[in-house]
Chain A
Amino acid sequence: MDLLIKNGRVIDPSQNLDDTLDILVANGLIKEIGKGVTAPVGAETIDAGGSYVVPGLIDMHVHLRDPGLEYKEDIISGTKAAAAGGFTSICCMPNTKPVIDNKAVASYIINKAKAEGFCNVFPVGSITYGLSGDRMSEMGELKESGCVAVSDDGKPVKNSEMMMRALQYAAGIGIMVISHAEEIELVGEGVMNEGFTSTELGLKGIPRVAEDVATARETLLAEYTGTSIHIAHVSTKGAVRIIREAKARGVKVTCETAPHYFTLTDDAVRGYNTNAKMNPPLREIDDVAAIKEGLKDGTIDAIATDHAPHHLDEKDVEFNVAMNGIIGLETSLPLSLKLVEEGVLTLNQLIDKMSCKPSEILGLNRGSLEIGAIADITLIDPNIGWIVEADALCSKSKNSPWLGTQMKGGAAATIVDGKLMYKR
């Protein structure tokens, strides 16, 4: 069915567009964009007055937990949460059971998402077999079966030679390597950021330098091998500086951060709040400032959520025992819109980091509203007020530090391949 989106404020960084326009979608593609577009017979019309109409948002860092850990999340609930959060495409990380290190698992995910999902799902394969860290996955087959990147997310590749060879090999195949940059010996048994708060709470700290050292290694390896690398979930001032300097030297490094790293500090852990426990951990006020600065000056290319669902039984426990990670798909948009309100980013830059850049980094061929482009479109209501409530979240898991928090802005509608998959 054709779809006409009328009167929205169309913001498309890929074409430098910011104007009140109509968009006509036909056969899953953008057919026409302009003023006063008329609806063909039988077309559905959406009045987007008061809303932003933007290229469908892309979250390049999501844990869908399917296969194997469906009690936390599955492809259906995860994509439903994504669509409700305004995402038309998500990339899912390989730490499933079994790991996405072979064609069978990758195909299972892609097929299930196509058949039953609410948005596009692009799997990320593992760098090493079973996330073992010592034997390279069949990256060629992974790419052929639809993986858009490789990563050992959650389990940093410790062996520097392994990482260097993976970068070289992946470059040959033409697949992006995403690094979870943490020096695990320095992480040790740490459970939160090392600083005054960890000192007061008596919790074992993870020093910021654990991330900085690993980020430096990754950029140096990419520089030496002349390959591309993407650094996941940047959280420290040091990592931002290292990436900024590497970019200035011409290293092909890109990176992402997550809303919690520019919204919260390790103060959120007080009270031993396990919904503020993740890896990398929440940092300090000057890190938050540096992350914002990195977003502003372009050092940080993308905003991803690192959506990491965990069952209540895994979070409603003593702090040390609790699993790392928080859900983020349904709160990312309002939290990121705050950056515009605070003057950190322009609206155009924000959409760039939440759609165009992720598409570009991973070669997804999305993130644009050009005529002929795939009709992945997000309608954003910038003013809607809502409160994060566990029962109202689409995600199976409710491990959010923002439960009960007032939010401003959110997805009004999410259109995937020309089909309306979510409407508020």
Chain B
Amino acid sequence: MAEFKHKHIIALRDLSKEDIELLISTAENMRDINCRDIKKVPTLRGKTVINLFYEASTRTRTSFEIAGKRLSADTVNITTASSSATKGETLADTALNLLAMKPDIIVMRHAVSGAHYFLANKINCSIINAGDGAHEHPSQGLLDMLTMKDRFGRLDGLKVAIVGDITHSRVARSNIQGLTKLGSKVYLAGPPTMMPPGVEKLGDVTVCGTMNEALQDADVVMMLRIQQERQGKTLMPNAREYSRYFGLNPTNIKLAKPNAIVMHPGPINRGVEMSSSMVDGDQSCILKQVENGVAVRMAMLYHVCGGELE
């Protein structure tokens, strides 16, 4: 019987193929709870989950909150505007203060890659990563994989194109780590200024010269969010030119397989990463991703609660 033995979920890199399969399977089986009249099970009754967000996020935070509540956990949200640990209280002090209130799980988003590992060494409750810097966003990776599995019944052998700013994308990293472990083939495209060195060594990953090359015969097309404020002025000229070369539209989607699905972690810049007709079109699985997000996060909360003390 598969057992999940991790106390924390910080990165899909740290999980085995079996761990990831178990989380996805649990999410699949929990999903129907969200469709019932009574959308609640008593599983985590009496558990306290703190959502500690050092970066603004409506979607992920709400999704984790709902996930916790549907499992009957008590969820508390703390959103800290300043992500700078140099000002005011340090992350370690904040965490120790929270710990004094005896939470069972801290779900944290933080701007610094690896901040969760730092925290894990300081405190003894479970930690779930809701996004750290440009490192990983495991819940997004898992919900993306669940969405793909829904459509294709498998992940093994799927050709997944990921297009956009790979360098700054924790979504891309978690998907690469998870998908390659489960046998998918990942094709990356983006301006060379947004392609991190050595990324092809992360698994079965191919860096494509053009977007068309990545789209060719793809089963899944995943578009990443472009953030003008993050990409600055030196990584690309502007959104207009970006969308000409790396935007998804009704023409270039034809290169992908006819039954290919289109994904985006959100929030979307319509007309930049993809045209509105793609966002709202038949191939779009974007809302399905959001729906799966709750189930995946329920699975994560459920399994870390049974994780062994390390």
Binding site for B on A (CB under 8 A): 194-205, 271-272, 313, 316-321
Contact = CB atoms under 8 A, between A and B. Distances in A.
Interface centre among B13, B113, B134 (most CB of A within 10 A): B113
A317 B199 contact: no
Contacts of B133: 202-203, 320
Nearest to A193: B197
A372 B133 CA distance: 60
Nearest to A199: B196
B72 to A, nearest CB: 33
- Chain B contact patch, size range: 20 to 34
A390 B12 CA distance: 34
B112 A320 contact: yes
A204 B134 contact: yes
B112 A318 contact: yes
A201 B113 contact: yes
A201 B197 contact: no
A200 B90 contact: no
B202 A199 contact: yes
A318 B135 contact: no
A112 B85 CA distance: 35
B197 A194 contact: yes
Contacts of B167: 199
Given A318-B115, A319-B112, A196 B201 contact: yes
Contacts of A195: 197-198
B103 interface: no
B85 A318 contact: yes
A417 to B, nearest CB: 43
Interface string B120-153: 0000000000001111100000000000000000
Given A199-B198, A200-B173, 19 more contacts: A198-B197, A199-B199, A200-B202, A201-B113, A201-B114, A202-B113, A202-B135, A202-B136, A205-B196, A205-B197, A271-B117, A272-B113, A272-B114, A318-B114, A318-B115, A319-B112, A319-B114, A320-B112, A321-B112
Nearest to A192: B113
B109 to A, nearest CB: 13
B287 interface: no
Interface in B40-73: none
Contacts of A316: 92
Interface in B186-238: 196-199, 201-202
25 contacts: A196-B197, A196-B201, A197-B198, A198-B197, A199-B196, A199-B199, A200-B173, A200-B202, A201-B135, A202-B113, A202-B114, A202-B132, A202-B173, A203-B133, A203-B134, A272-B114, A272-B117, A318-B85, A318-B112, A318-B114, A318-B115, A318-B118, A319-B112, A319-B114, A321-B85
B251 interface: no
Contacts of B91: 317-318
Nearest 6 A-B pairs (CB), nearest first? A196-B198, A202-B135, A272-B114, A199-B196, A202-B134, A318-B112
A142 B272 CA distance: 57
A199 B166 CA distance: 9
Contacts of A201: 113-114, 135
A319 B118 contact: yes
Given A199-B197, A202-B173, A204-B134, A317 B92 contact: yes
B95 to A, nearest CB: 11
A202 B198 contact: no
Contacts of B173: 200, 202
